[in-house]
Protein backbone atom coordinates (compact mmCIF):
# COMPACT_ATOMS: atom_id res chain seq x y z
CA UNK A 1 0.00 0.00 0.00
CA UNK A 2 1.47 3.32 -1.08
CA UNK A 3 1.56 5.81 1.78
CA UNK A 4 0.85 9.43 0.75
CA UNK A 5 3.39 12.10 1.55
CA UNK A 6 2.62 13.91 4.80
CA UNK A 7 3.11 17.66 5.14
CA UNK A 8 2.87 20.11 8.02
CA UNK A 9 1.82 23.77 7.86
CA UNK A 10 2.53 25.92 10.91
CA UNK A 11 0.61 29.21 10.91
CA UNK A 12 1.35 32.33 12.91
CA UNK A 13 3.31 35.58 12.87
CA UNK A 14 4.56 34.78 16.36
CA UNK A 15 6.62 31.88 15.00
CA UNK A 16 8.17 33.84 12.15
CA UNK A 17 8.98 36.83 14.36
CA UNK A 18 10.63 34.69 17.02
CA UNK A 19 8.11 35.69 19.68
CA UNK A 20 7.44 31.96 20.14
CA UNK A 21 9.55 28.97 19.23
CA UNK A 22 7.95 26.29 17.11
CA UNK A 23 7.33 23.02 18.93
CA UNK A 24 5.05 21.41 16.38
CA UNK A 25 7.72 20.06 14.01
CA UNK A 26 9.49 17.75 16.50
CA UNK A 27 6.16 16.78 18.09
CA UNK A 28 4.63 15.80 14.75
CA UNK A 29 7.77 13.89 13.72
CA UNK A 30 7.65 11.99 17.00
CA UNK A 31 3.98 11.07 16.58
CA UNK A 32 4.43 10.03 12.97
CA UNK A 33 7.52 7.95 13.77
CA UNK A 34 5.64 6.08 16.50
CA UNK A 35 3.24 4.94 13.77
CA UNK A 36 5.82 4.12 11.13
CA UNK A 37 5.02 7.30 9.21
CA UNK A 38 7.30 10.07 7.98
CA UNK A 39 7.09 13.84 7.52
CA UNK A 40 7.88 14.86 3.94
CA UNK A 41 7.72 18.65 4.14
CA UNK A 42 7.02 21.64 6.38
CA UNK A 43 5.91 25.16 5.58
CA UNK A 44 5.69 28.04 8.04
CA UNK A 45 3.25 30.79 7.12
CA UNK A 46 2.47 34.08 8.82
CA UNK A 47 -0.98 35.54 9.48
CA UNK A 48 -1.37 36.61 5.86
CA UNK A 49 -4.64 35.39 4.38
CA UNK A 50 -3.64 35.81 0.75
CA UNK A 51 -0.36 33.94 1.15
CA UNK A 52 -1.99 31.23 3.28
CA UNK A 53 -4.73 30.83 0.64
CA UNK A 54 -2.10 30.37 -2.08
CA UNK A 55 -0.25 27.86 0.10
CA UNK A 56 -3.39 25.83 0.73
CA UNK A 57 -4.48 26.00 -2.90
CA UNK A 58 -1.24 24.28 -3.88
CA UNK A 59 -1.45 21.65 -1.15
CA UNK A 60 -5.14 20.90 -1.86
CA UNK A 61 -4.10 20.19 -5.46
CA UNK A 62 -1.79 17.41 -4.24
CA UNK A 63 -2.67 13.99 -2.88
CA UNK A 64 -0.71 14.66 0.32
CA UNK A 65 -1.98 14.31 3.85
CA UNK A 66 -1.59 17.79 5.36
CA UNK A 67 -1.66 18.76 9.03
CA UNK A 68 -2.14 22.46 9.74
CA UNK A 69 -1.55 24.00 13.17
CA UNK A 70 -2.78 27.46 14.08
CA UNK A 71 -5.04 30.26 12.92
CA UNK A 72 -8.44 28.66 13.53
CA UNK A 73 -9.54 30.89 16.42
CA UNK A 74 -12.08 33.67 16.18
CA UNK A 75 -9.88 36.78 16.42
CA UNK A 76 -9.11 39.07 13.45
CA UNK A 77 -5.61 37.63 13.02
CA UNK A 78 -6.97 34.08 12.56
CA UNK A 79 -7.30 33.41 8.83
CA UNK A 80 -6.93 29.66 8.35
CA UNK A 81 -10.59 28.70 8.02
CA UNK A 82 -11.28 31.53 5.56
CA UNK A 83 -8.12 30.79 3.58
CA UNK A 84 -9.06 27.11 3.33
CA UNK A 85 -12.53 28.01 2.05
CA UNK A 86 -11.12 30.44 -0.51
CA UNK A 87 -8.53 27.92 -1.67
CA UNK A 88 -11.31 25.38 -2.27
CA UNK A 89 -13.77 27.85 -3.73
CA UNK A 90 -16.32 26.95 -1.07
CA UNK A 91 -18.45 29.10 1.23
CA UNK A 92 -17.96 29.28 4.98
CA UNK A 93 -20.87 27.64 6.83
CA UNK A 94 -21.66 27.25 10.50
CA UNK A 95 -21.32 23.61 11.55
CA UNK A 96 -24.18 22.53 13.82
CA UNK A 97 -22.09 19.87 15.54
CA UNK A 98 -19.38 22.40 16.36
CA UNK A 99 -22.04 24.81 17.69
CA UNK A 100 -23.29 22.11 20.05
CA UNK A 101 -19.77 21.48 21.33
CA UNK A 102 -19.31 25.20 21.95
CA UNK A 103 -22.62 25.28 23.80
CA UNK A 104 -21.45 22.44 26.03
CA UNK A 105 -18.18 24.20 26.67
CA UNK A 106 -19.92 27.44 27.60
CA UNK A 107 -22.20 25.61 30.03
CA UNK A 108 -19.23 23.90 31.65
CA UNK A 109 -17.18 27.08 31.97
CA UNK A 110 -20.00 29.52 32.72
CA UNK A 111 -19.04 31.69 29.74
CA UNK A 112 -21.59 33.33 27.45
CA UNK A 113 -22.28 31.68 24.11
CA UNK A 114 -21.62 34.81 22.08
CA UNK A 115 -20.88 35.47 18.42
CA UNK A 116 -17.13 35.50 19.04
CA UNK A 117 -17.21 31.92 20.27
CA UNK A 118 -19.64 30.82 17.58
CA UNK A 119 -17.21 31.96 14.90
CA UNK A 120 -15.13 28.96 15.85
CA UNK A 121 -17.90 26.75 14.43
CA UNK A 122 -17.53 28.32 10.97
CA UNK A 123 -15.77 26.00 8.52
CA UNK A 124 -15.53 25.49 4.75
CA UNK A 125 -18.65 23.79 3.45
CA UNK A 126 -18.38 20.00 3.72
CA UNK A 127 -15.88 20.01 6.58
CA UNK A 128 -16.01 17.33 9.27
CA UNK A 129 -14.98 17.75 12.89
CA UNK A 130 -11.77 16.87 14.72
CA UNK A 131 -12.57 16.44 18.43
CA UNK A 132 -10.67 18.60 20.90
CA UNK A 133 -10.26 16.77 24.24
CA UNK A 134 -8.95 19.88 25.98
CA UNK A 135 -11.89 22.29 25.64
CA UNK A 136 -14.30 20.79 23.07
CA UNK A 137 -13.64 23.55 20.48
CA UNK A 138 -13.33 21.39 17.37
CA UNK A 139 -10.85 21.49 14.57
CA UNK A 140 -11.89 20.47 11.08
CA UNK A 141 -11.02 18.20 8.18
CA UNK A 142 -11.51 18.86 4.48
CA UNK A 143 -10.36 16.06 2.22
CA UNK A 144 -6.92 15.01 3.45
CA UNK A 145 -6.26 18.38 5.12
CA UNK A 146 -6.65 18.55 8.88
CA UNK A 147 -6.77 21.85 10.76
CA UNK A 148 -6.09 22.11 14.49
CA UNK A 149 -5.32 24.97 16.89
CA UNK A 150 -1.83 26.29 17.47
CA UNK A 151 -1.83 25.43 21.18
CA UNK A 152 0.24 22.23 21.64
CA UNK A 153 -1.98 20.96 24.46
CA UNK A 154 -4.85 20.87 21.97
CA UNK A 155 -3.07 20.31 18.66
CA UNK A 156 -1.05 17.22 19.47
CA UNK A 157 -3.84 14.96 20.81
CA UNK A 158 -6.02 16.13 17.92
CA UNK A 159 -3.30 15.14 15.45
CA UNK A 160 -3.01 11.77 17.17
CA UNK A 161 -6.78 11.32 16.75
CA UNK A 162 -6.49 12.11 13.04
CA UNK A 163 -3.65 9.62 12.54
CA UNK A 164 -5.28 6.84 14.57
CA UNK A 165 -8.83 7.33 13.26
CA UNK A 166 -8.41 8.28 9.62
CA UNK A 167 -5.08 6.75 8.62
CA UNK A 168 -4.60 3.64 10.69
CA UNK A 169 -4.29 1.55 7.52
CA UNK A 170 -1.02 3.34 6.76
CA UNK A 171 0.59 2.65 10.14
CA UNK A 172 3.86 0.73 9.80
CA UNK A 173 3.21 0.01 6.13
CA UNK A 174 6.37 1.77 5.03
CA UNK A 175 9.32 1.18 7.33
CA UNK A 176 12.66 2.96 7.02
CA UNK A 177 15.86 0.94 6.90
CA UNK A 178 19.22 2.63 7.38
CA UNK A 179 22.92 1.79 7.66
CA UNK A 180 25.45 4.50 8.43
CA UNK A 181 29.06 5.16 9.30
CA UNK A 182 31.35 8.00 10.34
CA UNK A 183 33.88 8.98 7.70
CA UNK A 184 36.87 10.90 9.09
CA UNK A 185 38.99 13.66 7.52
CA UNK A 186 37.49 13.25 4.07
CA UNK A 187 35.98 16.19 2.17
CA UNK A 188 32.43 15.84 0.80
CA UNK A 189 33.70 16.59 -2.69
CA UNK A 190 35.66 13.35 -2.61
CA UNK A 191 32.68 11.17 -1.72
CA UNK A 192 30.07 12.91 -3.89
CA UNK A 193 30.91 10.75 -6.96
CA UNK A 194 30.65 7.66 -4.76
CA UNK A 195 27.19 8.66 -3.57
CA UNK A 196 26.04 9.34 -7.13
CA UNK A 197 27.44 6.00 -8.31
CA UNK A 198 25.63 4.04 -5.62
CA UNK A 199 22.31 5.87 -6.10
CA UNK A 200 22.49 4.93 -9.78
CA UNK A 201 23.34 1.32 -8.96
CA UNK A 202 20.70 1.06 -6.22
CA UNK A 203 17.78 3.33 -7.27
CA UNK A 204 15.61 2.19 -4.35
CA UNK A 205 18.10 3.71 -1.91
CA UNK A 206 19.07 7.23 -0.95
CA UNK A 207 22.50 8.16 0.27
CA UNK A 208 22.94 11.02 2.70
CA UNK A 209 25.86 13.02 4.01
CA UNK A 210 25.88 14.99 7.29
CA UNK A 211 29.21 16.80 7.74
CA UNK A 212 30.59 17.96 11.08
CA UNK A 213 33.58 20.22 11.71
CA UNK A 214 34.36 18.16 14.80
CA UNK A 215 35.15 19.21 18.36
CA UNK A 216 37.53 18.33 21.19
CA UNK A 217 35.91 14.89 21.48
CA UNK A 218 35.78 13.87 17.83
CA UNK A 219 37.74 14.81 14.71
CA UNK A 220 36.18 16.35 11.64
CA UNK A 221 33.88 13.76 10.11
CA UNK A 222 30.88 12.99 7.93
CA UNK A 223 27.97 10.77 8.84
CA UNK A 224 27.49 8.87 5.61
CA UNK A 225 24.55 6.55 5.22
CA UNK A 226 22.24 4.52 3.02
CA UNK A 227 18.49 4.43 3.62
CA UNK A 228 15.29 3.24 1.98
CA UNK A 229 11.61 3.06 2.82
CA UNK A 230 9.20 0.26 2.08
CA UNK A 231 8.64 -3.40 2.89
CA UNK A 232 11.07 -5.87 4.43
CA UNK A 233 12.69 -6.42 1.02
CA UNK A 234 14.21 -2.93 1.27
CA UNK A 235 16.32 -4.04 4.24
CA UNK A 236 18.31 -6.40 2.04
CA UNK A 237 18.76 -3.72 -0.62
CA UNK A 238 20.11 -1.26 1.97
CA UNK A 239 22.50 -3.89 3.34
CA UNK A 240 23.81 -4.69 -0.14
CA UNK A 241 24.28 -1.03 -1.04
CA UNK A 242 25.98 -0.30 2.29
CA UNK A 243 28.40 -3.21 1.88
CA UNK A 244 29.30 -1.88 -1.55
CA UNK A 245 29.90 1.54 0.00
CA UNK A 246 32.26 -0.02 2.53
CA UNK A 247 34.22 -1.74 -0.23
CA UNK A 248 34.65 1.51 -2.14
CA UNK A 249 35.75 3.43 0.95
CA UNK A 250 38.24 0.70 1.75
CA UNK A 251 39.82 1.03 -1.70
CA UNK A 252 39.99 4.79 -1.09
CA UNK A 253 41.82 4.07 2.20
CA UNK A 254 39.28 6.11 4.19
CA UNK A 255 39.03 5.89 7.94
CA UNK A 256 35.51 4.83 8.92
CA UNK A 257 33.57 3.84 12.02
CA UNK A 258 30.26 1.97 11.81
CA UNK A 259 27.42 3.54 13.81
CA UNK A 260 24.14 2.00 12.60
Residue 127 has pLDDT above 80, yes or no: yes
Quick check: helix, strand or coil at residue 165? helix
Residue 218 has pLDDT above 90, yes or no: no
| Structural domain boundaries in the chain | 6-170, 175-258
What distance in Å separates the CA atoms of residue 68 and residue 140, rounded to the nearest whole number?
Answer: 10
Confidence class for position 217, pLDDT limits 50, 70, 90: confident
Pairing of strands 92-94, 206-212: unpaired
Query: In this predicted model, what pLDDT tens digit does every residue of 229-255 receive, in sequence order?
Result: 988 899 999 999 999 999 999 999 999
What distance in Å separates the CA atoms of residue 78 and residue 23, rounded to the nearest whole number?
Answer: 19
Q: Which residues pair with 222 in a beta bridge?
A: 183, 211
Instruction: Name the fold adopted by 175-258.
Output: Alpha-Beta Plaits (3.30.70)
What is the distance in angstroms between the CA of the first residue and the CA of the last residue of the chain?
27
Query: In this predicted model, what pLDDT tens digit does every residue of 144-194 receive, in sequence order?
Result: 999 999 999 999 999 999 999 999 999 998 888 999 999 998 999 999 999
Query: In this predicted model, what pLDDT tens digit does every residue of 80-94 receive, in sequence order?
Result: 999 999 999 999 999
CB within 8 Å of 118: residues ≥ 6 apart:
94, 99, 102
Q: Is 203 left (phi over 0), alpha (psi -120 to 50) or beta?
A: alpha
Q: Which residues of 51-89 are buried (b: 16+ CB within 10 A; e: fewer)?
A: ebbebbeebbeeebbbbbbbbbbbeeebbbbbbbbbbbe
Q: If you classify domain 6-170 with CATH, what class do you get? A: alpha beta
10 neighbors 42 (Cβ within 8 angstroms)? yes
Q: Which of 254, 72, 103 lies closest to 181, judged by CA? A: 254
Amino acid sequence: MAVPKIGLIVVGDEILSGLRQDKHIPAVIERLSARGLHLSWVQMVGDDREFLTDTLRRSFASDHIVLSCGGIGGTPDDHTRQAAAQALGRPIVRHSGAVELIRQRCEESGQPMDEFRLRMADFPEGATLIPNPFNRIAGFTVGQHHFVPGFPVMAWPMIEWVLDTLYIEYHHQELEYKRALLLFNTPEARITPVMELLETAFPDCKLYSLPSVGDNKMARHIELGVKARGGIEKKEVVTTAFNELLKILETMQCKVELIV
